[in-house]
């Protein structure tokens, strides 16, 4: 992601309980605002918290809430909330690794379909015909995988790949 990195010493916006990206329900300490408005024109969320509660808060220095005359206000643009959530998802290494694994698996399947089933260029035109031909090619690929599985070829290749991968060998795509 581009842009200014958030201050690690500050409380992130994702620590606040925000419902539907429009209303703040609670701060990280669990205190609910006494008033919350969403300006649909400017796409800004305004949440007013009790000044006495915020002044006694142990996380007051790191909180993005601003002190005003009678209350404390959290003013956040809706796009900032979206960006904070996206940044948090990006930083979640476990979810990222899981998503990357899925991407690798489907790319491997697509490559196999192109090489073995001739799905590189279709010989038909039209959405319906292309869908039918692609579906038939996928069924053929699945039958081929089942045959290899029952012959034991897949287990042998997986074991050989695991042994070679420890030595830095890259597996062929086709």
> Which tens digit of pLDDT belongs to each residue from 60-108?
889 999 998 888 999 999 988 888 888 887 777 777 777 777 777 778 7
What is the pTM assigned to this prediction? 0.53
Residue 8 pLDDT level (bands cut at 50, 70, 90): confident
In contact, 136 and 78? CB cutoff 8 Å: no
Is it the case that residue 19 has pLDDT exceeding 80?
Answer: yes
Which three-class secondary structure state does DSSP give residue 84?
Answer: helix
* Residue 77 CB coordination number (10 Å): 13
Degrees to nearest 5, angle at CA 63 with 58 and 69: 95
């Amino acid at each position: 992601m581009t842009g200014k990195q958030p201050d690690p010493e500050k409380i992130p916006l994702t620590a606040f309980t925000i419902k539907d990206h429009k209303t703040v329900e609670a701060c990280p300490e669990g205190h609910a605002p006494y008033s919350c408005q969403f300006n649909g024109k400017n796409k800004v969320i305004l949440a007013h918290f009790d000044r006495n509660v915020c002044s006694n808060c142990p996380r007051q220095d790191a909180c993005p809430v601003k002190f005003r005359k009678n209350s404390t206000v959290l003013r956040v643009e809706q796009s900032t909330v979206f960006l904070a959530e996206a940044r948090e998802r990006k930083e979640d290494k476990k979810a990222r690794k899981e998503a990357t694994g899925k991407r690798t698996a489907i790319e491997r399947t697509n490559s196999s379909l192109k090489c073995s089933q001739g799905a590189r260029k279709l010989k038909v035109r039209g959405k319906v015909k292309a869908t039918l031909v692609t579906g038939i090619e996928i069924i053929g690929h699945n039958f081929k995988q089942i045959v290899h599985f029952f012959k034991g070829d897949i287990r042998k290749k997986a074991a050989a790949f695991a042994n070679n991968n420890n030595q830095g060998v890259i597996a062929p795509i086709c």
